Amino acid sequence: MNCAISGEVPLEPVVSTKSGLLFERRLIERHISDYGKCPVTDEPLTIDDIVPIKTGKIIKPKTLHTASIPGLLGTFQNEWDGLMLSNFALEQQLHTARQELSHALYQHDSACRVIARLKKERDEARQLLAEVERHIPAAPEAVTANAALSNGKRAAGEEGELGPDVKKLCPGISAEIITELADCNAALSQKRKKRQIPQTLASLDALERFTQLSSHPLHKANKPGISSMDILHSKDVIATGGVDATVVLFDRPSGQILSTLTGHSKKVTSVKFVGDSDIVLTASADKTVRIWRDSGEGKYACGHTLNDHSAEVRAVTVHATNKYFVSASLDSTWCFYDMSSGLCLAKVSDDSEKVDYTAAAFHPDGLILGTGTSRSVVKIWDVKSQANVAKFDGHTGEVTSISFSENGYFLATAAEDGVRLWDLRKLRNFKTFSSADANSVEFDPSGSYLGIAASDIRVYQTASVKAEWNLIKTLPDLSGTGRATCVKFGPDAKYIAVGSRDRNLRIFGLPGEDRANADDDSAQDS
């Protein structure tokens, strides 16, 4: 139906009650206002005489150019161009939104890290303050006792002890701790008299047939090198400290990495297990010592970061009580720590000469501490008084490693000119092994064998002062670097673990021994 005036389909159709004709509303209203009559019949007509008609939405017919193929292609092209422009604008908005979101997330993450670090520092400061307040009453006694020493006085003077920096406050080794150390010494000395070599210890024949069993790339290839090592004999777990600033805990029976400890910023120079516990001590060239504890499911967390040294820390050694430990540093001091709190109880230096400490080890009985220095001197300290009671001269170059024998009679020290054996009863050198650039020396836990890591790995049978220490086995350094850096004996000397200047931990042992042990374990489980 079309409008009687325009001949087109009306958008708002109305009908005249007089003539019954259909009109476009706007056209008929304008005509009535101008002429007052019907445009077709010329009859008088008013606005009241037209009635609107309710219809559906009227769609106008397509214009003529859309009725042809070229016209349709043009229409499609225009719509495509509009769609592309709209899509481009949306992509720009999305990119901007992503950038804003990324920046917001980065700010949130940074804020969370800062908050976490501040909370950790706050908690450590609170704990340290509580420990200091608890030990302050013992400080005057320790200061008075140390003031009478001619050697080995506390490195931190009165200004350092009472200064504003709480971390430098060293209350001293209290009388209660000294009594505890003495009791431990008495118990271990009595027990050592009844010591017997275990029947399960590897025989000389077995050691002579040792060969490489496995090699494990534990550290990063871009910073190769294993600088230190220790073995937890009760669980047969090996800890290696690397030049890549990480510590790797390796389960030898399964050949799997249990955990990787990250936190140091420079190479790890020393790593030690604390007794049979899951506590690990690490020292680093970043001047810090860290105490790690198993937080569950094999994941280790750093419980304490100790910043009492002002130079590279070269060694950590654990006391036989497993409650205290010592760190030795290139700042010419060694520190005596409480294990549980991480508090430095004493910071010791030798006032007679300023030397840097490059190695350290406790005597098995715990009242004697041995330290190696950068000036080729080995110093023996009385732990109770922190006094230097003996010095061993004769090495060339810095002392890289020291180890006490299990019977407490012998001390082995390594340096550039090789390894020297010292009789602690007569305080003299009684044997020298020429192993150029010796990096590590180690007695096995039974005191039956001695291992030396240098350009190769040599294993000796221990003997007395006058008897010959026979060479049992020479193992080649298979790293290709020509320098083995550390050597450790496994449980019952069933294997030897070796670290070198590459990133691989190498296990030397008797072929077939691992399989036999695995079969025994399976039989016990069944």
pLDDT one-digit tens code per residue, 183-219: 998 888 888 777 788 889 999 999 999 999 999 998 9
Quote the CA–CA distance of 68 and 276 in Å, as a whole number: 91
- β-pair partners for 120: none
Predicted confidence at residue 15, as pLDDT, reads 94
Could you give the C-alpha distances from 386 to 171, 202, 346, 368, 422, in angstroms and in order? 14, 38, 9, 9, 21
Predicted confidence at residue 151, as pLDDT, reads 38
Sheet hosting strand 226-232, strand order edge to edge: 226-232, 237-242, 246-251, 256-262
Q: Is 87 exposed, middle or buried (0-12, 13-18, 19+ CB in 10 A)?
A: exposed
The answer to whether the Cα torsion of 20, 26, 27, 30 is positive or negative is: positive
Mean pLDDT for the chain overall:
86
Predicted confidence at residue 191, as pLDDT, reads 81
Quote the CA–CA distance of 408 and 370 in Å, as a whole number: 12
Picking from 430, 508, 436, the residue whose alpha carbon sits closest to that of residue 473 is: 508
- β-pair partners for 328: 315, 334
Comparison of pLDDT for 369 and 67, the residue scoring more:
369
Q: What is the dihedral of CA 484, 470, 444, 199, to 10 degrees?
A: 140
Predicted confidence (pLDDT) per residue in 411-430, tens digit: 999 998 899 999 998 989 99
pTM exceeds cut of 0.95: no
Average pLDDT over every residue of 66-71: 78
Same CATH topology for 13-57 and 175-513: the answer is no
On the question of pLDDT at 509 being above 60, the answer is: yes
Average pLDDT over every residue of 21-46: 91
- Please state the three-class secondary structure of 94-122 as a single string: HHHHHHHHHHHHHHHHHHHHHHHHHHHHH
Please report, for the chain, the start and end positions of each structural domain, with discontinuous segments joined by +: 13-57, 175-513
Quote the CA–CA distance of 341 and 101 in Å, as a whole number: 43
Quote the CA–CA distance of 355 and 364 in Å, as a whole number: 25
Predicted confidence at residue 477, as pLDDT, reads 85
Comparison of pLDDT for 291 and 69, the residue scoring more:
291
Predicted confidence at residue 70, as pLDDT, reads 83
Q: Which of 104-113, 190-199, 243-252, 389-398 has the lowest mean pLDDT?
A: 190-199
Distance of CA 200 to the CA centre of its chain: 36
Predicted confidence at residue 327, as pLDDT, reads 96
Predicted confidence (pLDDT) per residue in 300-337, tens digit: 889 899 999 999 999 999 999 999 999 999 999 999 99
Q: How many angstroms separate the first and last alpha carbons of the chain?
A: 97
| Non-local CB neighbours of 340 within 8 Å, separated by 6+ positions | 323
**pLDDT above 90 covers what percent of the chain?**
56
Predicted confidence at residue 230, as pLDDT, reads 95
Predicted confidence at residue 135, as pLDDT, reads 64
On the question of pLDDT at 80 being above 60, the answer is: yes
Do the Cβ atoms of 264 and 288 come closer than 8 Å?
yes
The answer to whether the Cα torsion of 45, 51, 53, 58 is positive or negative is: positive
Predicted confidence (pLDDT) per residue in 329-362, tens digit: 999 999 999 999 999 999 998 888 888 999 999 9
Quote the CA–CA distance of 514 and 518 in Å, as a whole number: 6
Q: Name the token pair of 235.
A: 């669980």
**Backbone phi and psi for residue 76, each to the nearest 5 degrees, phi listed first:** -60, -40
| Residues shown for the chain | 526
Q: Is 67 exposed, middle or buried (0-12, 13-18, 19+ CB in 10 A)?
A: exposed
CATH topology of domain 13-57: Herpes Virus-1 (3.30.40)
Predicted confidence at residue 106, as pLDDT, reads 93
Predicted confidence at residue 59, as pLDDT, reads 65
Predicted confidence at residue 129, as pLDDT, reads 86
CATH class for domain 175-513? mainly beta
Q: Name the token pair of 457.
A: 């790995």
Predicted confidence at residue 130, as pLDDT, reads 81
Predicted confidence at residue 58, as pLDDT, reads 63
Q: Which of 56-65, 109-118, 204-213, 411-420 has the lowest mean pLDDT?
A: 56-65
Confidence of residue 64 (pLDDT cuts 50, 70, 90): low
Quote the CA–CA distance of 261 and 298 in Å, as a whole number: 11
